[in-house]
Amino acid sequence: MSLAAENEKIEKEPAPKVVLTEHADSALKFCLQTWVKSEDYWTVNFEMNEKVKKAFDENGISIPFPQLDVHIDERRRGDCE
């Protein structure tokens, strides 16, 4: 929210808000909802994405990524030949 408050292109009314949009497999997904002038949309979008990522890094917040563990049973090796 502080990043939104600092951005001059983001309208003060209606006030920005953060909402939980999804309980995903490896993450909770949040969305920062703001109002901007149409001509500022993409500029603000790219600026805020970059600023949020930097703020996460500075605060030790990591971005989850899908992981898959593969276990190979050696006893069954060669069955596909």
Closest CA to 16 of 29, 28, 37, 2: 2
Q: How confident is the model at residue 73 (pLDDT cuts 50, 70, 90)?
A: confident
How far is C-alpha 23 from the chain's CA centre? 13
Q: What is the pLDDT of residues 11-61, one digit of tens each?
A: 999 999 999 999 988 788 999 999 999 999 999 999 999 999 999 999 999
In a domain, 74, yes or no: no
Residue 64 in contact with residue 23, Cβ under 8 Å? no
Beta bridge partners of 23: 28
Which residue's entry shows tokens 């808000």? 17
In a domain, 79, yes or no: no
Per the structure, the count of domains in the chain is: 1
Closest CA to 3 of 28, 30, 27, 34: 34
In a domain, 76, yes or no: no
Please state the pTM of the whole predicted model: 0.69
In a domain, 80, yes or no: no
